[in-house]
Amino acid sequence: MSFTNCFHGRTIGSLALTSKVQYREPFEPVMPGSTFVEYGNLEEAKKVIQSGKIAAVFVEPVQGEGGIHSATKEFLQGLRDACDEAGALLVFDEVQCGLGRTGYLWAHEVYGVLPDIMTLAKPLANGLPIGVALVTEKVAAAIHYGDHGTTFGGGPFVCHAALATLDKIQKPGFLAEVTKKGEYFKQLLKTKLGGNPHVKEIRGAGLIVGIELDVPAGPLVDACLDAGVFLLTAGKGNVVRLVPALIVSEKELEQAAEEHQLRRSLARTPTMGATV
């Protein structure tokens, strides 16, 4: 089971758990037996888990691709309890929100809810290709050497890069800086863009920030790229996703927000220009 607006990847198994039809459709049939429940709808999730047919529940503590939506503590705790009751595994996908992105080493830390399995990838080797599944001792006991593998898995070069990245993230003060810069950035964006009638919400945790618009974000993202600010869209294409490098400086954040690059782009964007 996974949730609406989730993104778990584009390999055939993870694709079956990724809700966006556009990603799944070209590769169908994908792995059968997956089901989607509305993100945040604990009552519905509980019902499905209690059916006894769910082996595992996959959830992003903060949805990235889906539009920068943070789970509530109640939701994750409720999933934990329902999984325990039904004998299902709880899997946190922290590929995008983990490893310091939210200001915590793990995004789920702030909720005090623990998964049985956690997936990591994207920033782990700072850009080199790596993917990891961390499992509890109990889960590990069900997997034996040689049960599952991959040709390049555990390669020493990439693993060394991952260890170097982990060292950097765990340096004293590093995560506190991420939190501080994230707060500063959100405040800057609220000051500079909050008054724009197309901006519905500015949200996020640490350095994963979303700006929800009431118009498509694509033209704004393109205009920002021309101005030297590299952004992404998210959600239903109406959210600007800002996930700067964790080592970004306050000055660079100011360049993105305070020197009005975002604001100017918002003004230049054809669908938005008239009202700015």
- Binding flag, residue 64, ligand PLP (CB under 6 A): yes
Residues 11-30 that bind ligand PLP (CB under 6 A): 11, 14
- Binding flag, residue 251, ligand PLP (CB under 6 A): no
- Binding flag, residue 212, ligand PLP (CB under 6 A): no
Sequential DSSP letters for 168-213: HHTSTTHHHHHHHHHHHHHHHHHHHHTT-TTEEEEEEETTEEEEEE
- Binding flag, residue 171, ligand PLP (CB under 6 A): no
Q: Which two tokens stand for residue 147?
A: 């049960």
User: Which residues, in sequence order, are CB contacts of 105 under 8 Å at separation 6+?
Assistant: 98, 99, 169, 170, 175
Integer CA distances (angstroms), 227 to 62, 239, 257, in order: 28, 19, 12
Q: Considering only 5-13, 193-201, 210-218, 259-267, which stretch makes contact with ligand PLP by CB under 6 A? A: 5-13
Q: Which two tokens stand for residue 59?
A: 């959830």
Nearest CB to ligand PLP, comparing residues 11 and 35? 11
Could you identify the residue written with the tokens 């959100």? 186
Q: Which two tokens stand for residue 46?
A: 């509980």
Number of residues interacting with ligand PLP: please give it, by CB under 6 A: 14
Nearest approach, Cβ of residue 63 and ligand PLP (Å): 8
Nearest CB to ligand PLP, comparing residues 65 and 116? 65
**How many C-beta neighbours within 10 Å does residue 217 have?**
25
The residue within the footprint of ligand PLP, chosen from 80, 122, 192, 198 (CB under 6 A), is 122
36-37 vs 2-3, strand pairing mode: parallel
Q: Return the SS3 of 127.
A: coil
Q: Considering only 59-67, 177-185, 217-225, 242-250, which stretch makes contact with ligand PLP by CB under 6 A? A: 59-67
Q: Which residue is nearest to ligand PLP (CB)?
A: 9
Q: Considering only 60-68, 80-88, 134-142, 230-238, which stretch makes contact with ligand PLP by CB under 6 A? A: 60-68
The residue within the footprint of ligand PLP, chosen from 1, 2, 3, 8 (CB under 6 A), is 8
- Binding flag, residue 104, ligand PLP (CB under 6 A): no
Contact status, residue 117 vs residue 89, Cβ threshold 8 Å: yes
Nearest approach, Cβ of residue 100 and ligand PLP (Å): 15
- Binding flag, residue 207, ligand PLP (CB under 6 A): no
- Binding flag, residue 66, ligand PLP (CB under 6 A): no
Specify burial of residue 99 (Cβ count, 10 A radius: 0-12, 13-18, 19+).
Answer: buried
- Binding flag, residue 9, ligand PLP (CB under 6 A): yes
- Binding flag, residue 106, ligand PLP (CB under 6 A): no
Nearest to 72 by CA among 82, 83, 85, 59: 59
Footprint on this chain of ligand PLP (rule: CB under 6 A): 7-11, 14, 60, 64-65, 93, 95-96, 121-122
